[in-house]
A and B are shown apart, each in its own frame.
Chain A
């Protein structure tokens, strides 16, 4: 199985701060990576697919990058509504696997 190691596990950011969340795959996943945001008590919402493509309707302050085994999600200018949990998902090889998650809070 491909292991997805996500970091940090938790993060506290100030309003307007730029933050990054990382996912490292145990082998090359060829950019087959998606990022999701999950707010408390809600289902995950797609932010980024194919490592760097922004899902329709997602604010442009969200961006994804990376290749091979290293990927990151960047939020350029933290907003109060960005609080929540963030997960990465690799769809390169079965079984599909998620990162362990990052809890993002507003400082």
Chain B
């Protein structure tokens, strides 16, 4: 059974660094082809892909967030992490992590965590 769960600070102030943790079970990030991605969703709005990390430590970032994102993983403890530097109110959203799988050359998220709400406010 695949499960993922996000954790974060809940609230933080502008200019701080947001640190998020995704703790998962039912799969390993050392398995060929596996990956974890981060996605966010402001309240009442659509989904925005942020970053992906793969079993081989390959990483991809959304360039719209420029150099503010850092994704990493701890394979031994079944965790993935996302840091966003210099946050502002526009970063207020629910943040999701999701497992990445592939069917041949088709890549997609199959299981998602319940999400963690993050509010940036002074």
Q: Do A and B come from one complex?
A: yes
Most chain A CB within 10 A, of B47, B96, B103, B109, is at: B47
B112 A44 Cβ-Cβ under 8 A: yes
Give complex CA distance A36, B48 in Å.
Answer: 14
Contact-residue size bin, chain A (C-beta under 8 Å from the other chain): 20 to 34
A101 B46 Cβ-Cβ under 8 A: yes
Given A43-B115, A46-B108, CB of A98 within 8 Å of CB of B103: no
Min distance, Cβ A104 to any Cβ of chain B, angstroms: 15
Min distance, Cβ A97 to any Cβ of chain B, angstroms: 7
The answer to whether A72 has its CB under 8 Å from any CB of chain B is no
Total number of B residues with any Cβ neighbor in A under 8 Å: 26
Given A32-B107, A34-B108, CB of A95 within 8 Å of CB of B114: no
Min distance, Cβ B97 to any Cβ of chain A, angstroms: 10
The answer to whether A49 has its CB under 8 Å from any CB of chain B is yes
B106 A95 Cβ-Cβ under 8 A: no
B60 A34 Cβ-Cβ under 8 A: no
